Amino acid sequence: MNTTTLITTILYGLTAAYVMYMAIMNLFVYFANVHLGHEESFKMPMIYLLGGLTLCALTFLGYRIYTLPSIGLLFKILFYIPVLAIILYILWAILLVFSSGGKWN
Per-residue pLDDT tens over the stretch 46-61: 999 999 999 999 999 9
Nearest to 53 by CA among 77, 74, 31, 24: 24
Q: What is the DSSP letter of 33?
A: H
φ and ψ of 35, to 5 deg = -65, -35
In this predicted structure, what is the pLDDT of residue 70? 86
Helix axes 2-35, 43-67, angle to 10 degrees: 160
In this predicted structure, what is the pLDDT of residue 47? 94
> What does the pLDDT average to over 3-30?
94
On average, the pLDDT of the chain sits at: 90
In this predicted structure, what is the pLDDT of residue 105? 62
Q: 93 or 103: which carries more pLDDT confidence?
A: 93
Which of the four pLDDT bands, split at 50, 70 and 90, describes residue 71?
Answer: confident
